[in-house]
């Protein structure tokens, strides 16, 4: 007898959002993110801050790709779910920019409602590497 294990729908949504981000699939990202969604990037760099509304969040994502000549990647390692609508995505960030190399792990705490991402909050293993890369 085999057991079929299905992934939590919120985990699947986050996995799909990572894939859409890494392939610049704006249609899939638009479907995943709530119009009033928010994003928080910590640190002291010029891209640190809170972004409110899907357009502002997508502009932030555009900076990640645009400012790195398309080299920015968020390689998903694991997804964790909770019973309160939160999902944690653990990934590795890599990119090249102005002769610098980004190479750090990150987790994002996602909040979801009604099958859409309403917020994302980034947490970096090496915030100094992140800040130096974007300075």
CA angle 52, 35, 56 (to 5 degrees): 35
User: Which structural domain, as residue segments, surrounds residue 32?
Assistant: 9-134
| Within-domain flag for 32 | yes
Q: Is residue 73 part of a domain?
A: yes
| Tens of pLDDT, residues 32-54 | 999 999 999 999 998 999 999 99
Distances (CA, A) of 130 to 41, 65, 73, 97, 135: 10, 15, 13, 12, 9
Residue with tokens 């990037």: 41
Backbone phi, psi, residue 127, to 5°: -65, -30
Asked if residue 1 is part of any domain, the answer here is: no
- CATH code assigned at 62: 3.10.450.50
18 within a domain of the structure (yes/no) = yes
Tell me the whole-structure pTM to 2 decimals: 0.90
Residue-wise pLDDT for 65-82, tens only, equals 999 999 999 999 999 998
- Tell me, yes or no, whether 2 lies in a domain: no
**Total number of domains constituting the chain:** 1
């Amino acid at each position: 007898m085999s057991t079929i294990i299905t992934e939590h729908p919120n985990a699947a949504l986050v996995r799909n959002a990572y894939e859409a981000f890494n392939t610049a699939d704006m249609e899939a990202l638009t479907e995943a993110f709530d119009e009033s969604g928010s994003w928080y990037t910590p640190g002291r760099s010029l891209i640190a801050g809170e972004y409110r509304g899907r357009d502002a969040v997508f502009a932030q994502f555009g900076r990640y790709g645009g400012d790195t000549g398309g080299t920015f990647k968020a390689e998903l390692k694991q997804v964790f779910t909770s019973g309160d609508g939160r999902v944690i995505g653990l990934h590795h960030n890599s990119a090249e920019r102005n002769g610098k190399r980004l190479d750090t792990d990150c987790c994002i705490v996602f909040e979801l409602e009604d099958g859409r991402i309403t917020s994302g909050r980034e947490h970096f293993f090496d915030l100094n590497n992140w800040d130096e890369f974007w300075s």
